[in-house]
Amino acid sequence: MIYIVRHGQTDWNLTGKNQGHTDIELNETGIEQAEQLAEKLKNIKFDYVFSSPLKRAAKTAKIIYNGEIIFDVRIMERCNGELEGLTNTKNMIDFSDPDDTRYGVEPLTVFRNRITEFWNEITDNYFGKNILVVTHAGVVIYSQAYFKGEPEDGRYLGYKIGNCDILKFDNSVK
């Protein structure tokens, strides 16, 4: 089984600031969320745990799992360049447009390709294993597209999950 977790809450989540690659710590609520999730998952034996190296995801992973964690840059949040730290950026750029890279935003195709590359490796090499992946909202959205297909209504934000929410996908069938 593959378990995908979005990191715990940060102060920037509360204020609606665009985080991207900015390395923000969990706040107290985020730590509590991770502790609660660790309690829920305590009876699952994970064969491998992967995490984004950004502090908010890494700390969440360390709270959930007391063992070796493999940090992988491919599951870092999308780099949002000059828009990081700002609020109300939706009118400044179309984040769903693969060609809109103003303000130094990582091209959507590059972002999606690195997520796809990560999941291809996981599904090819860790078949039938219990895998925990701790990552970010944007990565979760495109991870769901990888496993479930593109959203029929084209609304990718419908694939977004909350802080420390968890998704499960069966990796025991090819």
Active site residue 21: no
- Tokens for 147? 């496993």
Catalytic residue among 7, 84, 106, 136: 7
38 φ, ψ (degrees, to nearest 5):
-60, -40
Q: What is the SS3 assignment for 63-130?
A: HHCCCCCEECHHHCCCCCHHHCCCCCCCCCCCCCCCCCCHHHCCCHHHHHHHHHHHHHHHHHHCCCCC
- Residue 79: C-alpha distances to residues 54, 103, 110, 145 (Å): 12, 10, 10, 19
Active site residue 84: no
Q: Would strands 48-51 and 166-169 be described as parallel, antiparallel, or unpaired?
A: unpaired
Catalytic residue among 25, 28, 68, 77: 77
**CA 68, 73, 78, 79 torsion: positive or negative?**
positive
Which residue from 113, 76, 107 is spatially nearest to 94, judged by alpha carbons? Answer: 107
- Tokens for 67? 């063992």
- List, by residue number, the catalytic residues: 7, 77
